[in-house]
């Protein structure tokens, strides 16, 4: 799907958020600056999360929603797959009462669940993105 503005990204994220259920893991794929964190922020806005931010330095941000949590991970700084062992990855990769969003999941390939939803965001230009869900 072609997204031509932040408003369209917001609408797309809201539609996506309506379908989310606890236990799901979403793999966000895209280059730096593609809009992965923006996408999660809009999902959070739909779910009434008051403040979201990039977890690049924290690695994991946890947001409380009415009936469940949202885990937002950014694995960009991981140098090898086993770096994931430094966090409680099973809680995040196999959530029961939460939804997990992972940026740069390929940095921990061997540990990822098989049934992730993949959201690919390709930056076409400053305002335009192509988004696909796999």
Give the domain range for residue 34: 2-133
Domain count, the chain: 1
Tokens, residue 111: 């540990």
Phi, psi of 67, deg, nearest 5? -115, 0
Model pLDDT for residues 104-115, shown as the tens digit of each residue: 999 999 999 999
The DSSP secondary structure of 5-68, one letter per residue, reads SHHHHHHHHHHHHHT--TT-EEEEE--TTSSHHHHHHHHHHHTT-S-----TTTSEEEEE-SSS
Predicted TM-score (pTM) of the model is 0.94
Per cent of the chain over pLDDT 70 is 99
Cβ atoms 111, 84 nearer than 8 A: yes
Q: Which two tokens stand for residue 76?
A: 């960009």
Confidence of residue 51 (pLDDT cuts 50, 70, 90): confident
CA angle 114, 77, 112 (to 5 degrees): 10
Q: Residue 101 maps to which CATH number?
A: 3.40.50.300
Task: Give the model confidence (pLDDT) of 52-104 as tens digits.
Answer: 877 767 899 999 998 999 999 999 999 999 999 999 999 999 999 999 999 99
């Amino acid at each position: 799907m072609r997204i031509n503005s932040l408003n369209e990204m917001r609408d797309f994220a809201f539609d996506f958020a309506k379908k989310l259920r606890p236990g799901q893991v979403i793999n966000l794929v895209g280059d730096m600056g593609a809009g992965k964190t923006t996408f999660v922020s809009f999902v959070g806005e739909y779910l009434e999360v008051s403040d979201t931010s990039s977890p690049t330095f924290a690695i994991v941000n946890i947001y409380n929603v009415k009936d469940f949590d949202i885990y937002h991970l950014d694995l960009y700084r991981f140098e090898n797959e086993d770096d994931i062992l430094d966090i409680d990855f099973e809680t995040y990769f196999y959530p029961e009462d939460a939804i997990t969003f992972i940026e740069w999941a390929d940095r921990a390939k061997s540990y990822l669940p098989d049934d992730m939803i993949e959201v690919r965001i390709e930056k076409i230009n400053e305002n335009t993105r192509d988004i696909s869900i796999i």
